[in-house]
Chain A
Amino acid sequence: QVQLQQSGPGLVKPSQTLSLTCAISGDSVSSNSAAWNWIRQSPSRGLEWLGRTYYRSEWYNDYADSVKSRVTFKADTSKNQFSLHLNSVTPEDTAVYYCARDGSYDNRTNAWNWSLDPWGQGTLVTVSS
């Protein structure tokens, strides 16, 4: 059973960098089929997909246009975890941040599942001085 455990600060000052980590158990960050996503949720934006990182002989990243100029994803294979770094934050970046996996094989149906499952527990990040 795959589980994702998030960690990181809940308060970040404006203009600084928001950094969160998602530790994986039951799968590998360098899996050749899975991808590791970041999503955030706020009352004003709803659920917003931020991007993903994945390994296919080398590392790739996909970013949402809304954060592309400010976001970086990193993977740490020694700790089996991945991280989100969002710089130059403003109060608009206040949200609950989630990590999630996509790309799993369903043995019952012999089909690939590219939806988001499982999710981390979520981290409320407030941007405020």
Chain B
Amino acid sequence: EMVMTQSPATLSVSPGERATLSCRASQSISSHLAWYQQKPGQAPRLLIYGASTRVTGIPARFSGSGSGTEFTLTISSLQSEDFAVYYCQQYNNWPRTFGQGTRVEIK
């Protein structure tokens, strides 16, 4: 089973600052990686697929990069609504697997 490892577990950031989240796959997954945002009491929401393609309606301050085993989600200037938990997920192998999440909290 493909293991997805996210770091850090918690990221404390001030509004307006940049946040950089990492996701590592235990084997190469090409660019078959998605990023989701989850707020309390809500379902995860897809932000990015194909490692770097933003979904329609997702602000440009969210960007994804990477391929193979190393991936990054960058939020260029954190807004109040961006404080949430972020998950990566691979869809290159079965079963589909998720990282354990990175919580982005207000510093």
Q: Residues of A at under 8 Å CB distance from B?
A: 37, 46-49, 51, 62, 64-65, 98, 102, 106, 108-109, 111, 113-122
Contact = CB atoms under 8 A, between A and B. Distances in A.
B97 interface: yes
Nearest to A118: B46
A72 to B, nearest CB: 17
Interface string B28-42: 000010101000001
A70 B44 CA distance: 25
Band of interface residues on B: 20 to 34
Given A49-B95, A115-B49, A119-B43, 5 more contacts: A47-B44, A47-B89, A109-B50, A116-B34, A118-B46
A109 B97 CA distance: 25
B44 to A, nearest CB: 6
Given A46-B100, A119-B44, A114 B95 contact: no
B53 A114 contact: no
Contacts of A49: 95-98
B62 interface: no
A102 B94 contact: no
Contacts of A102: 91
16 contacts: A37-B96, A47-B44, A47-B87, A48-B98, A49-B96, A49-B97, A49-B98, A62-B94, A111-B53, A113-B49, A113-B53, A116-B34, A116-B89, A116-B96, A117-B55, A118-B46
